[in-house]
Amino acid sequence: MRATALFCGVEILTFSLLDNHVHLLVRVPAEKPELTDGQLLERCTGLYGGKQNSRHALTLEAIRDALTGGGEERERMRRALIGRMCDLSMFAKLLKQRFSIWYNRTHGRHGTLWSGRFTSVLVEGKGLPVAIVAAYIDLNAVRAGIVQDPAQYQWCGFAEASKGVKAALAGIRVLGGCASPAEALARYAVLLYHRGAASGKGKPPDSRVPREVARAVHDYFGSLEPFANLRRRLRHATRGGILGYGEFIESWFAENRIYFGKRRCGARRIRGGDFGGLRSFRDVRPDDLK
């Protein structure tokens, strides 16, 4: 996952891996990167590995030869590689392919592994919308009844960040908007535990955060109630559509108005709880809120 993200130039803010599905919160740059040949080769090495016995060794060798050979062959290779970057669909395709190859080889099977195309939600990339989705993802194992504390589920971004994994901490810092990894992690813990200073009754010792941090987070969002609601399912965070404030959704709707017939507006209120004024692009069926 990390190697594929590094190659594609996307940033994983947080994630949750379960036995039959995965959730990823990914930030995708709007423009293709400007990379030197050396930087391209470095990304490819990270993706395919540099070992001689690697099944991708010939691919990596071919890439290296093309980039160092110059001429039209070099330009074709550069276009092919950069064309796979900063693209959510390509990132998901590469990740699913690589996992399928590993899984089939490990378990002696062949054929397809995934049931279909991934489902995506466009999320407003700052403030409450992206924090809501991140917290929803990290609380996956809690909703599934696997653990009571998200820090105890090792296959999620919050647990990795709590253990000091640099890549996971980098994502949490984006969500917390803080320069300090420790402060960003403490702020994010307030969202996951969703009330006051997280050292209250019934909270595990490793969830404790300073009261002034909890107060600052509460003041920033106005209320922690939206995060309390994430202890149950919120399909708006996982079903295709858009999640954000009304202005963000209406701006996107106006740009794509031609595709939606007689529909007059894009944003819809999220039913079933207080979600801090957030809106969704499409209505979710009532059964999805159970």
pLDDT at 1 over 70: yes
Chain mean pLDDT for the chain: 85
Look at residue 106 and tell me if it is in a domain: no
Closest CA to 25 of 166, 150, 137, 189: 137
3-class secondary structure, 146:
coil
130 shares a domain with 193? yes
Classify residue 154 as left (phi > 0), alpha (psi -120 to 50) or beta. alpha
- By the 10 Å C-beta count (0-12 exposed, 13-18 middle, 19+ buried), 150 is classed as buried
Instruction: Please give the residue range of the domain that contains residue 209.
Output: 124-231
pLDDT at 161 over 60: yes
222 shares a domain with 144? yes
> What percent of the chain shows pLDDT beyond 70?
89
- The pLDDT of residue 57: 64
pLDDT band of 207, cuts 50, 70, 90: low
201 shares a domain with 165? yes
pLDDT at 228 over 90: no
From 231, 250, 268, the end of a domain falls on 231
CB 226 within 8 A of CB 129: no
pLDDT at 287 over 50: no
Q: How many domains does the chain have?
A: 2
254 shares a domain with 220? no
pLDDT tens digits for range 3-18? 999 999 999 999 999 9
* Across 79-104, average pLDDT: 92
Q: What residue type is 149 in one-letter code? A: D
* Across 32-55, average pLDDT: 80
Q: How far out from the chain centre does Cα 2 lie?
A: 11
Look at residue 14 and tell me if it is in a domain: no
3-class secondary structure, 51:
coil
Look at residue 29 and tell me if it is in a domain: no
Question: Which residue bears the tokens 């590689």?
Answer: 81
